[in-house]
Amino acid sequence: MTTTAYRTCPLCEAACGLTLTLNDHNRVTSVRGDNQDPFSQGFLCPKGASLGQLDEDPDRLTTPLVRKGDQWREVGWDEAFRVVEAGIREVIDTHGRQALALYFGNPTYHTMAGFMYRQALTEISGTRNIYSAATADQMPKHVSCGLMFGDPFAVAVPDLDRTDYLLVLGANPMVSNGSLCVAPDFPRRLKDLRKRGGKLVVIDPRRTRTAEVADEHNFIQPGTDPFLLFGIVNTLFTEHLVKAGDTVSGVEVAGIEELRRMAEEFPSELVAPICKVPAETIRRLARELSSAPTAAVYARIGTCTAEFGTLAQWLVDAINVLTGNFDKAGGVMFAKTAALEIFRTGQPFSTGKFRSRVRGLPEVNGELPVATLADEIETPGEGQVRALLAIAGNPVLSAPNGPRLDPALANLDMMVCVDPYLNETTKHADVILPPPRMLQSAHWDFLVQIIMVRNYARYSEPVLPLRPDQYHEHDILARLFLILAGMGADTGADTAHEMVVGQLLEGLTSAPGSPVAGTDPAELRAGLEGTGPDLFLDALLKFGGYGLTLDSVRKQPHGIDLGPLQPRFHELVCTASGKLELAPAALVDDVERLRARMKRPSPELVLIGRRHLRSNNSWLHNVPALVGGSNRCTLQINPADVARYGLGAHALIRSATGELEVTLEPVDSIMPGVVSLPHGWGHDGTTQSVAAKEPGVNVNTLTGDTAVDTPSGNAILNGVPVTISPLLTE
C-alpha cells in the first residue's frame, strides 16, 4: 500500500508543488513535481527530488540535547525548557535584557512557525540585539524600497511571464531558482521569454548558467553595479529616453530632476573603465530598456551583498520607473498575498531608531547588522551580549568573518539553538531544541507570497504525524516566548499561541478604518479554526483580500491561482510625502561613497560567491545524492590568473580578514581578476556524517565584518579584495 501526499517544497523561494509517494512504513519512495499545481506545473529541481532523503536524514536530531562541557546529554522536552529558562533567567536577572541576542536564520522565512513567532519573540525579548540572515542577504533591497516607496516590503518583482526585456544583474536563477522573485521553473520562464521574441541580458562577473541561456552576457567588475546603473540613468536623460510621467499608478513621482543632476556625474565614458562594461554597451542597454514595449531590471545577491548594495537596488528601481515600467504589466509589479499583509505598517520607513552599542550602527527593520554580532559578544561593558537564542541559522558559516563567531559563541554564558542539526554553530549551544521533520509540519509561505510573479496560494497539511516524543517547531517557539515573557518553562504552548493571535485580533479591531473596527476580539477568535500557526493563518486569510479561509485552502491541496499581478503601487506607497521618491536624501548622501570609489583603482584580484544547483546555504551537504560532482567547494579562477600567479592545483588565498588553502578550478567562464568560492562549506564539529567527509572551507574566513553597506548595514560578501599565491608544499 502506498499513499500520495501533496506538499509545497519548503527549501527555496520557488515554492514548487510536489507529489510525494510514501510506503507502509511512512518512508518517502518518490518525489515528483505536482502536475496539477497551477504555478509550478510539475517542475521540481534536484533538491526537491531529494526532499524525502533530506527529511529522513538519520543524522537529524530527534531529542533535545543539553551540553555539559563537551558532553551532550539527551533529555526530555520539559527538562530542556527548564534548563533554557534557568540559563536565560540568570543572564537577564544579572545583566538585563540587552545581554540577550536573537538570531533568525534563513529557514525562519519559510516555516509557518518562523513567521508567527519572529516578531512575537523579538518584542517579548525586550532586547535591541536582534540579528538575522537578512543583513547577509537582502537588507539593501528593503532599505531602498523603504526610502523610495515608504514600505520596506514593497518589493517589486519582474513580471517575468509578460515582459519583453529582462536585464538581470548579480542573480543566477537557473541555479538559485530565483530570489525576491518567486517563479517556479525559472528556466522554462526564461526560455518562454525568448520564444516570444523577448531579450534576456545578464550582467555577472561569471558566465553563469543564466548567462548561457541569455541573448547577451557582459562581465562586470564586482561591486561596481551602481556605476553601470548610473551610466544607464545618465543615458536615459541625455538621450531623452525617459518615459516616466509625473505620476505612476496615480502616485506623484518626486526627485526626478535631482536624480538627473546626480547622474550627470556618471556618464557612460566615465563609468565604463570602473565597471568594465564598455560605454557603448551601457548606452545601448539604456536605449533597449527604453524602447522595448515592456522591460524589467532585476538584481539580486551579487548586487545586494556588495559595497554599494543599497545604491544598486535604488538605481534598479529608478530605471524601472524612468523607462515607464514600474507597476505595469510586463515591467516590475507587486504581488498581493492571500493572507493579510500584516508586516506592512503603512508608516513611512526610517532607520536608526536605535544604534548598536559597540559600533553605533543604525537599526534597520528593527534589527542590527549580523556583521556586528561578534563585537557585541566580545566587547565588555553594560549591554554586552551574554546569551544567544539562534533559530534556524548557522552564522559561523554564513556571517561575514564567521570564524570570529566561533570562539565568541563558545564564551557565551548561555546559548539556545532551535535546529535539526548539531553543526558549526549549534555545537556551541547549551541546549539544542530540534524541530520535527519538514513533512511533519504544515506549510504556508507567508512571506514568499509577496514576491511571486503571479498571485498564488497553497497550503500543505502535515504529511506525517508527530511521534509522542516530538515537538512542533511552533510549540518550541511558543515555549521560548513564554520563558522570555517570564511566564515560566512549564506553561503550555497554547497559551502563547492564544496570546499572539489575541494580539493580532486586538490590533485589527482597534485599527481605524479596519472592517472589523470596534468588534470584540473574542468574537473574532471564536470564529477561527486550528491551533498555532493554522489559527494565525485562518485569521489572516479571513482578513485577506481573496475571501479564503483555512478550510477553503485545505480543500485545494494543489494550490490556488489568484491571477496575474495587478497594478497596486497606490495601495502600498507610504512615504512621508505620499510620493514615489526617486532621490531619497539618505541615498543621495550615500552617493558620496561612490564618488570616493571613483578615485580608487579596482583591486588586482577580488573574491565573489557562487551557488550550486544541488545545495542550499550550509545545510544540504548531508544528502549523498546532492553532494559530489559539480557541487564542490573549489575556487574558480580564470586560467590567465593561474598562469599569472604561477599556481598549481591548490593555492593560498588571503584577505584583510583571513586566509584559506583552496583547491583551484580553472574556468574561462570567470573574468580575469575575479575568483569565486561558494559559501556554506567548512564543515567542522558537525554530526552530519556525509558533510563531514567533504568539509570544504568556510569562505567567510575571508569576508570582513568591519565594513558594511552604509545605509543597510548589510555584509559585503562580493568584491572582497584578496591576494593569491602558490602553496609552498606544491
Ligand X SMILES: Nc1nc2c(c(=O)[nH]1)N[C@H]1C(S)=C(S)[C@@H](COP(=O)(O)OP(=O)(O)OC[C@H]3O[C@@H](n4cnc5c(=O)[nH]c(N)nc54)[C@H](O)[C@@H]3O)O[C@H]1N2
Which residues in this chain contact ligand SF4 in the complex, by CB under 6 A? 9, 11-12, 14-16, 44-45, 47-48, 177, 184
Which of 482, 619, 682, 713 binds ligand X (CB under 6 A)? It is: 619
Q: Which does 9 bind (CB under 5 to 8 A by kind): ligand SF4, ligand X, Mo ion, none?
A: ligand SF4
Q: Which residue is nearest to ligand SF4 (CB)?
A: 48
Judged by beta carbon, residue 562 or residue 699, the one nearer ligand X is 699
Distance CA 544, CA 525 (A): 16
Told to check if 473 binds ligand X by CB under 6 A, we report yes
Least distance to ligand SF4 from the beta carbon of 184, Å?
6
Classify burial at 411, counting beta carbons within 10 Å of its beta carbon; exposed 0-12, middle 13-18, buried 19 or more. Answer: exposed
Told to check if 448 binds ligand X by CB under 6 A, we report no
Give DSSP secondary structure letters for 487-547.
S-TTS-HHHHHHHHHHHHHHHHHHSTT-TTTT--HHHHHHT--SSHHHHHHHHHHHTSTT-
Among the residues of 177-323, which ranges form H helices? 186-195, 209-212, 225-238, 256-263, 268-275, 279-291, 301-304, 309-322
**What are the C-alpha distances in Å from 233 to residues 16, 268, 330?**
36, 9, 20
Q: Which does 717 bind (CB under 5 to 8 A by kind): Mo ion, ligand SF4, ligand X, none?
A: ligand X
Told to check if 137 binds Mo ion by CB under 5 A, we report yes
Q: Can you read off the three cell numbers belonging to residue 192?
A: 518562454
> Contact 149/569 with Cβ under 8 angstroms?
yes
Which of 203, 316, 493, 524 binds ligand X (CB under 6 A)? It is: 203
Least distance to Mo ion from the beta carbon of 531, Å?
30
Distance CA 264, CA 270 (A): 10
Least distance to ligand SF4 from the beta carbon of 579, Å?
37
Query: Of 247-306, which residues contact ligand X (CB under 6 A)?
Result: 300-303, 305-306
Judged by beta carbon, residue 85 or residue 137, the one nearer Mo ion is 137
Find the largest Cα–Cα distance for the chain. 76
Q: Which does 15 bind (CB under 5 to 8 A by kind): ligand SF4, ligand X, Mo ion, none?
A: ligand SF4
Least distance to ligand X from the beta carbon of 495, Å?
21
Distance CA 10, CA 8 (A): 6
At how many degrees (to 10) do helices 225-238 and 585-598 cross? 110
Q: For the CA atoms of the chain, what is the radius of gyration?
A: 25
Query: Of 87-106, which residues contact ligand X (CB under 6 A)?
Result: 105-106
User: Which residues, other chains included, contact 276 with Cβ-Cβ below 8 Å and sequence gap of 6+?
Assistant: 219, 220, 221, 224, 671
Told to check if 375 binds Mo ion by CB under 5 A, we report no
Q: Strand, helix or coil at 441?
A: coil
Told to check if 700 binds ligand X by CB under 6 A, we report yes
Judged by beta carbon, residue 111 or residue 325, the one nearer ligand X is 111
Other C-beta atoms closer than 10 Å to the C-beta of 39 total: 27
Of 542, 134, 694, give the one whose Cα is nearest residue 364.
134
Least distance to ligand X from the beta carbon of 675, Å?
11
Judged by beta carbon, residue 47 or residue 357, the one nearer Mo ion is 47
Least distance to ligand X from the beta carbon of 94, Å?
28
Q: Which does 208 bind (CB under 5 to 8 A by kind): ligand SF4, ligand X, Mo ion, none?
A: ligand X
At how many degrees (to 10) do helices 309-322 and 585-598 cross? 110
Q: Which does 205 bind (CB under 5 to 8 A by kind): Mo ion, ligand X, ligand SF4, none?
A: ligand X
Judged by beta carbon, residue 64 or residue 173, the one nearer Mo ion is 173
Query: Of 417-446, which residues contact ligand X (CB under 6 A)?
Result: 418-421, 423, 435
Total residues belonging to the chain: 730
Least distance to ligand X from the beta carbon of 397, Å?
6
Told to check if 636 binds ligand X by CB under 6 A, we report no
Kindly tell me the number of DSSP H helices and DSSP E strands found in the chain: 26, 30
Of 155, 172, 168, 683, give the one whose Cα is nearest residue 396.
683
Judged by beta carbon, residue 472 or residue 579, the one nearer ligand X is 472
Judged by beta carbon, residue 137 or residue 571, the one nearer ligand X is 137
Told to check if 679 binds ligand X by CB under 6 A, we report yes
> Contact 432/87 with Cβ under 8 angstroms?
no
The residue range among 130-138, 283-291, 512-520, 583-591 that interacts with ligand X, by the rule CB under 6 A, is 130-138
Told to check if 137 binds ligand X by CB under 6 A, we report yes
Told to check if 365 binds ligand X by CB under 6 A, we report no
Q: Which does 333 bind (CB under 5 to 8 A by kind): ligand SF4, Mo ion, ligand X, none?
A: none
Told to check if 317 binds ligand X by CB under 6 A, we report no
Judged by beta carbon, residue 324 or residue 682, the one nearer Mo ion is 682
Side chain identity at 726, as an amino acid letter?
Answer: P
Distance CA 173, CA 181 (A): 9
Judged by beta carbon, residue 90 or residue 659, the one nearer ligand X is 659
> Contact 101/388 with Cβ under 8 angstroms?
yes
Distance CA 516, CA 224 (A): 49
Q: Can you read off the three cell numbers belonging to residue 414?
A: 548561555
Least distance to ligand SF4 from the beta carbon of 616, Å?
7
Which of 541, 717, 722, 724 binds ligand X (CB under 6 A)? It is: 717
Which of 394, 449, 602, 712 binds ligand X (CB under 6 A)? It is: 394
For ligand X, the binding residues (CB under 6 A) are: 12, 105-107, 111, 133, 136-137, 169-173, 175-177, 179, 203-206, 208, 220, 222-223, 225, 300-303, 305-306, 391-395, 398, 418-421, 423, 435, 473, 608-609, 611-613, 615-619, 679-680, 699-700, 703, 717-719
Rule CB under 5 A: which residues touch Mo ion?
Answer: 137
